[in-house]
């Protein structure tokens, strides 16, 4: 099967356009082929959305995981793999690369505006109407795995005594075994997110916050 340039009629083999890849024709026109993936990545509820996060957005990926969302991220991943995985796994591609929608004809992406992680997160939450309050700290921020809930006795010796006294809920990652607990840092982050996601303007020179573990 062939694809023809709509401008000059040059013929190209269809395999050049896998995963929505486009090429620049000798005449200067971008030639591509639409990929039909809408049904794949459009789940019934926003809670089911999954994301593929571009290389420059590692901190956004961690924030999405803090909110309980499945956000795949690979350091140094090539664009081709990024696009392929997002299509194969039905993930919405989050990127700051403005050339990407030209180089690939894909429709399951969001161009991220801000360079600040909390504003980036706010953009994604608004765009897709993501509920987040009930889902905080249900996923490992390092491995992107859903956490297993643990009883108090299961974390004996795995967290400091002081935390055992004050924290109410515990969970651990089945992959890396990190233990997470609900304590004062969770309340702080919840307040911080409440402010950020309500759209309150950040103050000049405000420091960026990192997801805490
Ligand atoms: Zn052409
Ligand atoms: Zn983990």
In a domain, 205, yes or no: no
Spatial separation of the C-alpha atoms in residues 80 and 99, rounded to whole Å: 13
Q: How far is the CA of 172 from the centre of ligand 2 (A)?
A: 8
* 48 and 103 share one domain: yes
In a domain, 120, yes or no: yes
pLDDT score recorded for residue 11: 96
Asked if the model's pLDDT at residue 167 lies above 90, the reply is no
* 89 and 55 share one domain: yes
In a domain, 206, yes or no: no
**Residues within 5 Å of ion ligand 1, judged at the Cβ atom:** 5, 7-8, 10, 25, 27, 29
User: In the structure, what pLDDT confidence band is assigned to residue 164 with cuts at 50, 70 and 90?
Assistant: confident
Asked if the model's pLDDT at residue 6 lies above 90, the reply is yes
Averaged pLDDT for residues 159-171: 85
In a domain, 142, yes or no: no
pLDDT tens, position by position, 87-114:
888 899 999 999 998 999 888 899 999 9
In a domain, 176, yes or no: yes
- Domain limits for position 90: 38-136+187-197
Q: How far is the CA of 30 from the centre of ligand 1 (A)?
A: 8
In a domain, 210, yes or no: no
- Average pLDDT of the chain? 87
In a domain, 202, yes or no: no
Number of domains forming the structure of the chain: 3
pTM of the model: 0.84
* 114 and 95 share one domain: yes
Q: How far is the CA of 211 from the centre of ligand 2 (A)?
A: 14
pLDDT score recorded for residue 201: 42
* 62 and 7 share one domain: no
pLDDT score recorded for residue 98: 94
Q: How far is the CA of 102 from the centre of ligand 2 (A)?
A: 35
pLDDT tens, position by position, 15-63:
999 889 999 999 999 999 877 665 555 667 888 899 999 999 999 999 9
């Amino acid at each position: 099967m062939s694809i023809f340039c709509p401008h000059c009629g040059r013929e190209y083999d269809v395999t050049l356009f896998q995963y929505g890849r486009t090429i620049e024709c000798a005449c200067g026109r971008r030639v591509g082929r639409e990929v039909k993936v809408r049904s794949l990545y459009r789940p019934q509820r926003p809670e089911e959305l999954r994301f593929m996060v571009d290389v420059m957005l590692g901190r956004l990926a961690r924030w999405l995981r803090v909110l309980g969302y499945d956000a795949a991220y690979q350091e140094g991943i090539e664009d081709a793999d990024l696009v392929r995985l997002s299509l194969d796994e039905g993930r919405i591609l989050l990127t700051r690369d403005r050339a990407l929608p030209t180089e690939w004809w894909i429709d399951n992406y969001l161009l991220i505006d801000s360079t600040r992680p909390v504003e980036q997160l706010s953009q994604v939450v608004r765009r897709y109407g993501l509920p987040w309050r009930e889902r905080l700290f249900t996923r490992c921020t390092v491995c992107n795995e859903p956490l297993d809930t643990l009883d108090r006795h299961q974390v004996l010796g795995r967290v400091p005594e002081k935390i055992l006294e004050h924290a109410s809920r515990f969970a651990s990652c089945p992959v890396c075994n990190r233990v997470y607990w609900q304590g004062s840092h969770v309340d702080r982050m919840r307040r911080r997110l409440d402010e950020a996601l309500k759209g309150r303007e950040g103050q000049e020179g405000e420091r960026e916050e990192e997801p805490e573990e």
